[in-house]
Amino acid sequence: MNREMEDSKFREFFIEQLKDIYWAEQHLVKGLLKMAKAATSEQLAAAFEKHARETENHVRIDEQIFEALGEEPDTKKCEAMAGLLEEAEELIADTEKESYIRDAGLIMAAQKVEHYEIAAYGTMRVFASYLGNRKVESLLTQILENEKMTDITLTKLAEEVVNEKAAVE
């Protein structure tokens, strides 16, 4: 890391954003498992369960980032993720069990989460490059690429399985 960046306001800002996304990832694991349980499509449930495991790994990678920065892992409530997860829970409550309409809504809710994470990790990766920390940049790239792949998987499930069935319910 660039010596003059070690105590900079920008580094402090970066760490605050890391605390935010670290909280988000921890809470998303539970949210994904709830979404898996609520899904009608076995493929969608499996995708949510897979991403919950991947998200647990994101938590561990975030901890590696804190370590690489010489910081203790800490959280700050992510209001955006809290709102997105609350919205997903409302969607589950407002739709019929075992319906593809619910699944279409779950995919939409999950993609909102993925797009938030893609924006957060993409921006943080650029911040890491300005901080001159290649290790942190590389770790953030790993998570970012996984989030992008999850978004693609959800789109395929929507287009190839769920949306057509939801439209005829």
At 3 the pLDDT is 47
How do residues 114-167 score in pLDDT, each as one tens digit?
999 999 999 999 999 999 999 999 999 999 999 999 999 999 999 999 999 999
| Alpha helix positions (H), 69-161 | 79-94, 100-131, 134-157
pLDDT at residue number 168: 96
Chain segment 48-89, per-residue pLDDT in tens = 999 999 999 999 999 999 999 999 999 999 999 999 999 999
- Rounded CA-CA distance 44/26 in Å is 21
User: Domain segments of the chain: what residues?
Assistant: 3-167
**Segment holding 63, helix H or strand E:** helix 42-68
The structure's pTM equals: 0.94
**Radius of gyration of the chain from its Cα atoms, rounded to whole angstroms:** 17
CA atoms within 13 Å, Cβ hemisphere of 16: 6
| Per-residue confidence (pLDDT) for residue 164, from 0 to 100 | 96
- Count CB-CB contacts under 10 A for residue 1: 16
The pLDDT value recorded for residue 2 is: 47
Distance between CA atoms of residues 117 and 103, nearest Å? 21
DSSP 125-142: HHHHHHHT-HHHHHHHHH
CA 90/CA 10 separation, integer angstroms:
37
Name the band, by pLDDT with cuts 50, 70 and 90, for residue 5. low
43 within 8 A of 159, measured Cβ to Cβ: no
**What mean pLDDT is predicted for residues 85-114?**
98
Range 3-167 classified under CATH 1.20.1260.10: yes
Report the C-alpha gap between 63 and 19 in whole angstroms.
10
Predicted pLDDT at 6: 62
Q: pLDDT tens digit string along 6-16?
A: 668 999 999 99
